[in-house]
Amino acid sequence: MGARPEQYSDRELVEGCLKNDRFSQEMLYRKYFPAMMRMVQRYTQDREAAMDILNTGFLRAFKKLDTFAFSGSLEGWIRRLVFHSLSDYFKRHSRQVHFIDLEDRDGPVQEGALDKLYFEDVLKLVDMLPDATREVFYLYAIEGYTHVEIAKRVNISVGTSKWHLSNARKKLKQLIRTYYNHAG
């Protein structure tokens, strides 16, 4: 039947990985792969991109494993590294003007507000959007789908897709103003 990752404690896996034990590395990867993949797939439905992000994140984790001090959860620590890989991926591949294009007919976002936000902060704000609105925003602004493609993909009309995008922009502008007022 073979070994299962959950049979091993985080400490056992970390100690094995630090000794460059391939079995421990595989078990650590298999143990946290499902949770990390779910997180990454919240931001991209592209399986190839998700695997690239995930593997880059795990590579970072293996390289930095000697800095893990068991003061928090290993899963949380790996999650942060995978999230940084996610952020780096979208910084390299996204159409950033398209992504942060919040200045439409509603008027501009408060001057300087976007400069204070990091990509991770914007993603956290996007996560606060209602589910359907968030999904359309991700597909359009981050993954670059057209409204026609989104409509087919999630079984809504093109007009509904456009409404969700407009609604997302409006809500994000409000959230950014709130964030800016608290961060400034």
pLDDT by residue (tens digit) across 130-154? 989 988 887 787 666 789 988 998 8
Nearest alpha carbon to residue 176 among 140, 131, 139, 124: 124
- Domains of the chain (ranges, CATH numbers): 5-93 (1.10.1740.10), 98-183 (1.10.10.10)
Distances (CA, A) of 128 to 96, 168, 177: 20, 10, 14
Query: What pTM did the predictor assign?
Result: 0.58
pLDDT by residue (tens digit) across 46-61? 889 899 999 999 999 9
